[in-house]
Structure 1
Amino acid sequence: MLRNREFSTILADGSKPHRRSGYRMPQVSLRELQVFLAVCECRAFSRAADRMGVSQPALSRTVRDLETRFDLRFFHRNGRGVELTQAGRVLRQHAETVISSVEDLEIELNELRESASGVVVIVLPTHVSQVVTPKLVRRFAEHYPKASLHVFEDANDRIADRVRDGVADIGLFYAYAPPDTPRQDYVAEEPLFLVELPDEDGNDDDGPITFAQLADRPLVLPRRKSVYRQFLEECADGAEVRLNVVRELEMGSTQMAFVLEREGGSILPFSHCWSEVRSGQAVARQIVGPKITRHITLIRSTFKQAQMVRVAGQILNEELRASNAMFRWQFVAKADQKAG
């Protein structure tokens, strides 16, 4: 698809005409040239509008604006359609040259892009990888057919190190404070939820719950040595709440399994329980007063600055947003990110 760029008027030999002092050469966009050529080829505004996928008044306005800008008439209107004026024939010659050159440019650049080869490595948390990897790999292959995208899963506390050490080009991990170092982007906030089974009467209240209300809830959580548990305890201390932990786990990934075994509730991100909530096996209530969140952070390698890495990061961000029903993240605007 041709972009809507602007070109100064040029002569047939490629040189620019002499400009009078104080004279500003009119600018023409590619879109205007495409509209003009469509009218030339169709010899009627109505058929040209159909070809361009616009209304006839909009197309007529584009041609009229072009004529006004150059203070010239490019078409003679008559009952049978339109015919080119002398100025119109000159413009058509140059317009066809410009459009053809831009199309050739796009073909050559696409060939360069498609010939790009290499490997991009992304490391993700397990629950994120399971959701976005298939589409991520497919879309990357559409951009770079001769390159490879490798997506690996790893523990959250090791992901940033994988990128810093040059093992991976991009990593996505959960942080407990917004990033303040180069080459890290603050992508989203991840709220945490109290996840429980519906009560015996089948009530499935999924409204928010305050931190104070957690005090009388039996909880299944990772052991205190885990960063995640330490974060929860700090939040509880700040809210002056003592968490009622009835079972401590070596592996945080098993929390949902223990909830289903009626050991107690747990505090989890929505991505860890969305399938159970969707099936009605569990209820997730966002914790508020205060709200507790983790910061979803994307880190990029300083070892590789290839365009392929930037494209892979962009696709990852887009797929995360498209899959947000499974995450319930609160994405931040680019202005709020600390980009490297």
Structure 2
Amino acid sequence: MNISLKQLQVFRAVAAERNFSRAGELVGLTQPAVSRAINELEYQLDLRLFDRTTRDVQLTQAGQILAQRLPRWIDELENTLNELHSWAHNRVGKVRLASSPTLSAALMPHCLALCAQQEPGLHVILLDRIQENVLNSILTGEVDFGIIVEPDSATMRELDCETLLTDPFVVVCPENHPLVRPKNGRHKTPGWSDLSGSDLILLDRASGSRRLIDEVLSRQDVRHQVVQEVGHVTTGFEMVRAGLGINVVPSLAVPETGLPGLAVVCPRPIRHRRVMLARQKNKTLAPLASTLWTIVKLSTQQTMQRRKSL
């Protein structure tokens, strides 16, 4: 059965006016269009709803039953549709977002400030967690979406993702380290091979970047020893200050205020990680969540432009 709301609205008008022309004026249709709509409705129901003569239009018994019940149905449907329309345009509510600590520190302060400025009714609940827990909160629906480091291919298949930025891996070392000292009076951009033989302080395996760092070191054939694994980049930086080794970290892990006493170098060839927005596979975001998704993209662009200018 294929019955449209328009056909039911036309029926209600004809039932009220008992005249096809006046009913057409109510619903904005010509008399032939009204007749066609009623004929189509009767065809779908396999019932006559009106007895028509050249001078009169009368409801049949089936028409009377429909005319009695239809107004309530249409009113309820219109109320529901109006409620959905209001919900779609609602600018007040909560959105839950998950992100790992390094990404939260680098990207979220400006994002939250921009959101407060552009959408003051949008309350963002940020879950600041390690990557594994961020992914789990997305997949279980605990959050509307998350900001993640590119996961493995199996996990990617369970998500709908959009690349937010590409972030190069850098080395953090003392200012007097051979990687940054001039050679023969010339400053030379170091390569990954120059890290061979180094003691490395790396993020532990709970980090979404550790798998990618290991891949870079392996593909660049960097012979190294991992002397410490840390859960937070700040711990690693202080270990570098103490002379325990050097860091390989994502560029976003380096604070915008810099690292006094330490040097940051980007070995060649440049190797990146992808930072992504992610939501459940085939999940349509609610309007407010979609608004925040857009704000995250805009604020990230602004943050990256600001970092490049430093």
Is TM > 0.5 for Structure 1 vs Structure 2? yes
Identify which of 222, 242, 245 aligns with 1:241: 222
Corresponding position of 1:282: 262
Paired residues for 1:173-192 under 5 Å: 173-175=148-150, 179=156, 183-192=160-169
Corresponding position of 1:152: 127
Corresponding position of 2:273: 294
Q: How far apart are 1:303 and its partner, in Å?
A: 5.2
User: Given that residues 95 and 123 in structure 2 are in contact (C-alpha distance below 8 angstroms), is that contact kept between their aligned partners in structure 1?
Assistant: yes
**Deviations 1:143-196 (CA, angstroms, capped at 9, x unpaired):** 444342212211122212211211111211111568566521122221101110
Corresponding position of 1:221: 202
Query: Does 2:96 correspond to 1:121?
Result: yes
Corresponding position of 1:170: 145
Q: Report SS of the residue matched to 1:320.
A: helix
Corresponding position of 1:47: none
User: Given that residues 149 and 208 in structure 2 are in contact (C-alpha distance below 8 angstroms), is that contact kept between their aligned partners in structure 1?
Assistant: no
Q: Report SS of the residue matched to 2:267.
A: strand
Corresponding position of 2:299: 319
Paired residues for 1:5-154 under 5 Å: 115-154=90-129
Q: For the structure 1 residues 138 and 189, does the alpha-carbon distance in structure 2 shift closer, same or farther, using more than 3 Å as the test?
A: closer
**Deviations 1:62-119 (CA, angstroms, capped at 9, x unpaired):** xxxxxxxxxxxxxxxxxxxxxxxxxxxxxxxxxxxxxxxxxxxxxxxxx988753321
Q: Report SS of the residue matched to 1:163.
A: helix
User: Given that residues 221 and 249 in structure 1 are in contact (C-alpha distance below 8 angstroms), is that contact kept between their aligned partners in structure 2?
Assistant: yes
User: Given that residues 97 and 127 in structure 2 are in contact (C-alpha distance below 8 angstroms), is that contact kept between their aligned partners in structure 1?
Assistant: yes
Corresponding position of 1:260: 241
Q: For the structure 1 residues 114 and 296, does the alpha-carbon distance in structure 2 shift closer, same or farther, using more than 3 Å as the test?
A: same
Q: Distance in 2 between matches of 1:128 and 1:256?
A: 17
1:235 counterpart letter in structure 2: V
Q: For the structure 1 residues 212 and 131, does the alpha-carbon distance in structure 2 shift closer, same or farther, using more than 3 Å as the test?
A: closer
| Count of aligned residue pairs for this structure pair | 216
Unaligned residue ranges in structure 2 (runs of 5+): 1-27, 29-85
**Deviations 1:19-49 (CA, angstroms, capped at 9, x unpaired):** xxxxxxxxxxxxxxxxxxxxxxxxxxxxxxx
1:298 counterpart letter in structure 2: L
User: Given that residues 209 and 288 in structure 1 are in contact (C-alpha distance below 8 angstroms), is that contact kept between their aligned partners in structure 2?
Assistant: yes
Q: Distance in 1 between matches of 2:204 and 2:99?
A: 23
The structure whose Rg is larger is: 2
Q: How far apart are 1:297 and its partner, in Å?
A: 1.3
Q: How far apart are 1:140 and its partner, in Å?
A: 2.8
User: Given that residues 148 and 276 in structure 2 are in contact (C-alpha distance below 8 angstroms), is that contact kept between their aligned partners in structure 1?
Assistant: yes
1:249 counterpart letter in structure 2: E
User: Given that residues 115 and 146 in structure 1 are in contact (C-alpha distance below 8 angstroms), is that contact kept between their aligned partners in structure 2?
Assistant: no
Unaligned residue ranges in structure 1 (runs of 5+): 1-14, 16-110, 329-340
Corresponding position of 1:104: none
1:300 counterpart letter in structure 2: R
Q: Alignment identity in percent?
A: 14
TM-score, structure 1 as length reference: 0.54
User: Given that residues 202 and 230 in structure 2 are in contact (C-alpha distance below 8 angstroms), is that contact kept between their aligned partners in structure 1?
Assistant: no
